Amino acid sequence: MSKLRLTKIPASEITPFSVYLKRREFLTGAAAGLGMAVMAGKTALAEPLQSTKSDYVLDEKLTPLKDITTYNNFYEFGLNKSDPVNLSGGFKPKPWAIEVDGMVNKPGTFDIETLIKDFPLEERVYRMRCVEAWSMVIPWDGFQLSHLLDRVEPLASAKYVVFETVVRPSQMPGQSGLFQSLNWPYIEGLRLDEARHPLTLLAVGLYGETLPNQNGAPIRLVVPWKYGFKGIKSIVRITLTDKQPLNTWKATNSQEYGFYANVNPEVDHPRWSQASERRIGEGGFFGANRRPTLPFNGYADQVASLYSGMDLKVNY
């Protein structure tokens, strides 16, 4: 595994110092600017998190909280980018537990509050890249997935980690009726070495506050070198297995979405190029300014060795 070499810079240089000192006021003002849509998810934004500063930061401008919380793909709440914030107010992220089973020595069910206490949280700033050719820079709060995997002790024969989203049609309108678009539950997966990589995060918050409903409350996966659809949200089950899982988007359309989903500017989506991207929040919300897409979303030094010898155009 290649050595991590992400830039170390003070938090005051990532977020303007005046904003950093007044984080609570900043978040309150930003939330107020979202209108009634964000008020529906107010309970998910209300609680501060106690996180330590991480070395995993970027010297890039953060995407504004307003954009992160109002422009989302979360098909459990609908197909439009605004559906998650508009339709997630009735979702109940507490209490919450995650079942971890399969090829492990110590399967169990873990309360999320216990996990947060047991595994000290870190504040990490990551690039996030969507297959639709837009990107954000998000300050996540969470803990390494490897910490939870260590606790359950994977068997030597385990090769993959499978994730499953909660199914609650009464609280998630995208899972029922006319809004239903996929087969539920939403399934994602990683190779075990990908899951154990230090960059792979289970996020429980962003911008120092509890994760909003529309962003995957109360706990979601963050794998920053992969396209955003790998970041499964509202996780209720994690299973270790020796077989590659059939993830939801590959099952839905294997011609457009593969299992690995590594950000690769040389592999176009069948309906658009992946060679460039637009950064949300820059040049107007739908600004025309674009930037080149970085291999592995800019994390090649850290993760390229995981795929040594693989044809990444075949294993897309």
Per-residue confidence band for 59, with pLDDT thresholds at 50, 70 and 90: confident
Let me know how long the chain is.
316
Nearest to 143, CA basis, from 213, 198, 216: 198
The verdict on whether omega for the bond into residue 64 sits within 30 degrees of 0, i.e. cis, is no
Could you tell me which residue, 121 or 13, shows the higher pLDDT?
121
Q: What is the pTM of this model?
A: 0.86
What span, in angstroms and rounded, lies between the C-alpha atoms of 305 and 262?
Answer: 13
**What average pLDDT does the structure give for the chain?**
87
11-299 carries CATH number 3.50.50.60: no
Where helices occur in the chain by DSSP H, the ranges are 11-14, 17-21, 23-33, 36-39, 42-45, 65-70, 83-87, 112-118, 145-152, 192-195, 248-252, 300-303
Q: In the structure, what pLDDT confidence band is assigned to residue 133 with cuts at 50, 70 and 90? A: very high
**pLDDT tens per residue across span 147-206:** 999 999 999 999 999 999 999 999 999 998 765 679 999 999 999 999 999 999 999 999
pLDDT at position 57: 84
Which carries the bigger pLDDT value, residue 261 or residue 48?
A: 261
Bin 309: left if φ > 0, else alpha if -120 < ψ < 50, else beta. left
Residues 196-228 have pLDDT tens digits of: 999 999 999 999 999 999 999 999 999 999 999
Q: State yes or no: pLDDT of 285 exceeds 80.
A: no
Q: Domain spans of the chain? A: 11-299
> How much is the pLDDT for 268?
93
